[in-house]
Structure 1
């Protein structure tokens, strides 16, 4: 075990290393106190864990622990081998100076994390690009999907064909979406610039401009995810009670009021689910689109966290830095998801 003073409090450690080490110790203390309080609440009650099941024995429940654990064993083994073990190994790797293709490693403690704070790493721009692309991919994607789903939900001839055509982009992989939008937004031969030239305008550098390129990525990501969102919104609209909409119309509510006061609240469970899934998509699955369209450029304007992780790990062969960044990304997604559950989850209406 590496002594703690070597890790963060050695004399030659920088102030950033010391501050980060104190933060990790404080975080560990908070987690330990929370876990200890939970255990103490169960044990201190005098009933123990067994009381959680003994007082609630009903027909159809297991009275012992052997059969439940035997049934759970295959799932637990798979989770341990393919989820928990790689996660722990990634945590170990984040404290090492490791290069892809060599077995030689060196323990560097928190250096892989603190180096990201150096100005030359420009990690702040990476965070900004990540949140910019992710936020607008989720917001714009859900808004457009809901509007299209509402139109596609209307009883018109050939509605099933229209719905199928709207959903099929979801089956396309992100790299293919990047190829399609690369042809659309190509500066020289793209469809968009061809239309602009036809109207007498000046061609736009969709992929070469640092201020425009992120929005091109957002457009491609929104188009790619809309099929999934539309599918769920159409299913949700089919379950909205029509008598509520008719009652609101009788009371004099116009379309906007009915949509905002009746339809959107009734779709809140689906919207809540789609927000979580779209956040995951925006953070993790946009790599293929970015890699084909901009490769993180121009000047790092579209270099998101997931793109930088893959680039550092595979192209630059810096496994330690990539592992550290993946832990940061994982932590951010967990925090955002918990905040979403704590805030939006309270406003979700499951009743009819």
Structure 2
């Protein structure tokens, strides 16, 4: 029988939730309402007032070829970083789940990257993948110019993708390992008794059973690449060279804080927010209802 707690003092529950409600109001709803207002008005760079322009800001954004290039780049960035991170995290989780020697140590070590701040990781990878130092520098001495993220846009984008994927491995590893450990051992043992090798048991038994976890991580990782990539790009490439690593969230910063186009940046932020809301809707309304354990 379900038990519920009742407060005789009707003011006390509101006092308990007031700090959280205040944080949500100040840091989410108020900025969102301001962005909506600016997206439909023409905001002067130095606070000279607003002029209602309707959907003109969105029309300007959608007619900008550079913006669509940023959208495509964000999609490539999101899919690539998500795929690399999830594949590596799943592989590590499968080895740890098998209970091999040293897995207890690895289980804690693999989580460490997620505890690091993105700017710190970005600075570290900028030195690790520098074309003048370390192993990459030695390779460049043999084949000059084979790796140069400072001038080659493709190399710069690959560098940021690798860094973001590495940063997300710990997060994905925790969920994959939890999903694998929720599978009854009797299922794997039955497969082994039928003669299935570890790879076959993984493909036919384990992966189908952790499908909900996989789809959850897929959505969450893609959302992360759209919203949490600013710190990495700002510390590693600043959107360069020549805008080759400029994704949607960084273009909002460029247009709003450097170009002083507050209205255009607000319109872009609304578009990005709608994309995140759509992905969240897919996660909660489609994935959780249609993906079931076998």
TM-score range, shorter chain: 0.7 to 0.9
Match of 1:259 in 2: 202
Deviation, 1:158, is: 3.5
- Contact kept? 2:216, 2:287, Cα under 8 Å: no
> Deviations along 1:281-305, whole A, 9 cap, x unmatched?
1111111111122211223221111
Change (3 A) 1:141 1:99: farther
Residue 179 of structure 1: CA displacement? 0.8
Counterpart of 1:116? 61
Structure 1 residue 310 and structure 2 residue 253: aligned? yes
User: Given the alignment of the two structures, is residue 333 of structure 1 paired with residue 276 of structure 2, yes or no?
Assistant: yes
**TM-score with structure 2 setting the length:** 0.86
Quote the offset at 1:160 in angstroms.
2.7
- Conserved in 2, the CA contact under 8 Å of 1:62 and 1:68? no
Q: Which residue of 2 aligns with 1:324?
A: 267
- RMSD of aligned alpha carbons: 2.8
Residues 146 and 275 of structure 1, relative CA distance in 2, 3 Å threshold: same
- Secondary structure of the residue aligned to 2:51 is strand
More divergent stretch after superposition (214-223 vs 235-244): 235-244
SS at structure 2 position matched to 1:300: coil
Distance 1:341 1:207 in 2: 41
Q: Does 1:160 align with 2:97?
A: no
Q: Distance in 2 between matches of 1:156 and 1:285?
A: 34
Larger radius of gyration: 1
The answer on whether the counterparts of 2:61 and 2:267 sit within 8 Å (CA) in structure 1 is no
SS at match of 1:106: strand
Task: Flag the 1:311–1:136 CA change in 2: closer, same or farther, 3 A.
Answer: same
Are 1:89 and 2:34 matched, yes or no? yes
Deviation of 1:62 after TM superposition, in Å, equals: 8.4
Conserved? CA contact 1:125–1:301, under 8 Å: no
Q: Partner residue of 1:272?
A: 215
Aligned residues: 291
Matched, 1:126 2:59: no
Q: CA deviation at 1:151?
A: 1.6
Q: Give the alignment partner of residue 50 of structure 2, picking from 99, 105, 127.
A: 105
- Larger RCO: 1 or 2 (CA < 8 Å, sep 6+): 2
Describe the shift of the 1:292–1:271 C-alpha distance in structure 2 as closer, same or farther (beyond 3 A).
same
Secondary structure of 1:224's counterpart equals: helix
- State the partner residue of 2:88: 144
CA contact (8 A) 1:100 1:313 kept: no
Per the normalisation by structure 1, the TM-score is: 0.73
Q: 1:280 to 1:59 in 2, by over 3 A?
A: closer
Q: Distance in 1 between matches of 2:93 and 2:117?
A: 22
CA distance in 2, matches of 1:215, 1:347: 34
Partner of 1:301: 244
Q: Which moved more, 1:81-90 or 1:246-255?
A: 81-90
User: What's the offset of the Cα at 1:67?
Assistant: 5.5
Contact 2:223-2:279 within 8 A present in 1 as well: no
Deviations 1:127-164 (A, max 9, x none): 01111101111122111110012123332443332222
Could you report, residue by residue, the CA deviation over 1:25-68 in whole angstroms, capped at 9, with x for unpaired residues?
Answer: xxxxxxxxxxxxxxxxxxxxxxxxxxxxxxxxx8645899x969
